Structure 1
Amino acid sequence: MSDAAIDLTQTMPPVRKMDYRVGKKLGHRARIGAVVLASDETMEYEFRVVLHSLGDGVALYEARIENSPEITPETLRAMEGKIADTARLLLPQSAMDVVAYGCTSASVAIGPDRVAELLHEAEPTAKVTNPATAAVEALRAMGVQRLAILTPYQESVNVFFGQFFADQGFDITAFGSFLEDNDATVASIDPASVSEAVIELGSDPNVDGVFVACTSTRLLEMAAETERKLGKPVTSSNHAIIWHSLRLGGIDDKLPQFGKLYSL
């Protein structure tokens, strides 16, 4: 083959201008932006499981925020200075309807109000949420007062995490943890194991419902089945934040295959 430049104008046919029509964009009902932890392996997948049921009218756009895979109070608070800049990367040419920050424990460590303020720096017109706020809204919507909490966290995180929900007015009547501090390990926990732990904690007669923390923890696809076995409402970080993002975005479609929360 010759290295000499080929004059394509001598060999190509003329370029024809083709007609097109402008239609509805992806996310014409709602555009949701998610600030996802760099170490998270679960949140995007579980978001898409739900959004697949809604077709192209609801679209998800993500930006990944740098974080440590080790979950400690110090590493969680270290994300505060990165939230706004990461959210600016979601879809710079188009405003989001909703922006969700995807870390439950960091939302508690930094404070939900501060997280909201940082998201609004990047997306001033968007409605905003995070897993801690979404969980509170979800649990209240389902009428849960006496709460069981399941986390993957070490004790240093569990202490302030439980205090947050107590401060929101819930009675913490049962608390369990896998006592893991690495996101990759948490993402590998079998959803069936999560479901079994939920049922064990929730079976306490003093419990009205169960919340499963951490966006790396997988439960969404088993939430409805777990509720049927337990006979009480169940939600998780992803399960709650996806629901809350949809409702904030004006999407009120009922999706009972994902449990009681999605039937409200």
Structure 2
Amino acid sequence: MAQKLPLKDFQMLSAMEVPMYGWRARIGFVSPPLMTEMVPYEFYQMVPEGVGLLVTCMGLDDLTAEQMDQALGTVQRHIGEQNRRGVDYVVLGGTPLILSRGIGFEQELLSQVQTLSSVPITTTTHTAVAALRSLGVKRLASLTTYHPWRNELLSAFLSAQGFEVLAVEGFASHIADIHTITPETVFREGKHLLLHHPRAEAIYIPCAQLHTWPVIQRLEKECSVPVVTSTLSWVWSALKHLKIHAPPHAQTMLWQGTVQP
């Protein structure tokens, strides 16, 4: 594990000295798509100075069963490389990958890969469930990028975690087109979903490739429920484990731990 610079020593550095990248912590993320641009962009909107990100990509350009099987076959290599580079926490992305093998596969996968790493490993689905539970959420709606049949898998997964799933609606986007969905579209569709399901105590928006950060707080304010996204949940989980506080501008309801009455 990389040696970290104590905060007191960092503050004493002269103006001519530059601290090591990730002097507070370095978080590893295994990203399923061939290319990833939104994960690092949103990550650095949410974390304080001194927290770094290391991303490896599995190379998916489509969510076919064959490609997902191939991607899952590379997980150990990605974990090994992240561990070799000395990160402090590792996150496996890809809700569709977790759902592809059925309910219960996530825990099986985590049990297998944890033996390969000296630091904690989690998934974006695991952190999302943990985030929703930390908020005391029992009923939720979900806005996704998925096609209807994959939404049904997600609904079954969330139900198995003990949530009452009021609705799961998606953009039915191809993996290569997710980046074209604007934050305003996410806001509009998220608000529409919550208006039609007023009993929802939260909205869950999976897919770390989706641009959501600019509208999370506005959606929470207008609809009075917490918004839990993939990236928000795993950043929250990592910083919480590493005992690092999020900057004030990143204080969503998840950080505040509140569900509106």
Shorter-chain TM-score tier = 0.7 to 0.9
Q: Which whole-Å CA distance do the structure 2 matches of 1:50 and 1:254 have between them?
A: 7
Matching of residues 98-117 of structure 1 within 5 Å: 98-110=89-101, 111-117=105-111
SS of aligned partner of 1:208:
coil
Provide closer, same or farther for how the CA distance between residues 131 and 255 of structure 1 changes in structure 2, counting only shifts above 3 A. Answer: farther
SS of aligned partner of 1:173:
strand
Matched with 2:253 is: 260
Matched, 1:80 2:72: yes
Matched with 2:37 is: 41
Code of the residue aligned with 1:76 in structure 2: it is M
Q: Which whole-Å CA distance do the structure 2 matches of 1:118 and 1:45 have between them?
A: 30
What is the deviation of 1:50? Answer: 1.4
Task: Determine if contact 1:61/1:91 at 8 Å carries over to the other structure.
Answer: no
| Residues 172-204 of structure 1: per-residue CA shift (max 9 Å, x gap) | 012211112x22211110111011111111122
| Residues 101-135 of structure 1: per-residue CA shift (max 9 Å, x gap) | 12122123242223323542442x21112111011
Between the two proteins, the alignment pairs up a number of residues equal to: 237
Matching of residues 14-163 of structure 1 within 5 Å: 25-37=20-32, 38-51=34-47, 54-56=48-50, 58-67=51-60, 69-90=61-82, 92=84, 94-110=85-101, 111-123=105-117, 125-163=118-156
Q: Which whole-Å CA distance do the structure 2 matches of 1:138 and 1:256 have between them?
A: 19
Matched with 1:14 is: none
Provide closer, same or farther for how the CA distance between residues 89 and 46 of structure 1 changes in structure 2, counting only shifts above 3 A. Answer: same
What is the deviation of 1:254? Answer: 5.7
Matched with 1:4 is: none
Q: Which whole-Å CA distance do the structure 2 matches of 1:225 and 1:82 have between them?
A: 38
Matched with 1:238 is: 231
Provide closer, same or farther for how the CA distance between residues 23 and 115 of structure 1 changes in structure 2, counting only shifts above 3 A. Answer: farther
Listed as ranges, the gaps of 5+ residues in structure 2 are 1-16
| Residues 4-28 of structure 1: per-residue CA shift (max 9 Å, x gap) | xxxxxxxxxxxxxxxxxx9964333
Structure number, greater radius of gyration: 1
Q: Which whole-Å CA distance do the structure 2 matches of 1:148 and 1:255 have between them?
A: 27
Task: Determine if contact 1:99/1:119 at 8 Å carries over to the other structure.
Answer: no
What is the deviation of 1:236? Answer: 0.9
Task: Determine if contact 2:151/2:168 at 8 Å carries over to the other structure.
Answer: no
Q: State the TM-score, normalized to the length of structure 2.
A: 0.82
Identity %: 24
Code of the residue aligned with 1:31 in structure 2: it is R
Listed as ranges, the gaps of 5+ residues in structure 1 are 1-21
Matching of residues 214-253 of structure 1 within 5 Å: 214-253=207-246
Task: Determine if contact 2:39/2:208 at 8 Å carries over to the other structure.
Answer: yes
What is the deviation of 1:224? Answer: 0.8
Task: Determine if contact 1:150/1:176 at 8 Å carries over to the other structure.
Answer: yes
Q: Which residue, 150, 175, 178 being the options, matches 1:186?
A: 178
Query: Which aligned segments of 4 or more residues in structure 1 are displaced greater than 6 angstroms?
Result: none
Matching of residues 161-200 of structure 1 within 5 Å: 161-180=154-173, 182-200=174-192
What is the deviation of 1:73? Answer: 4.7
SS of aligned partner of 1:28:
coil
Code of the residue aligned with 2:26 in structure 1: it is R
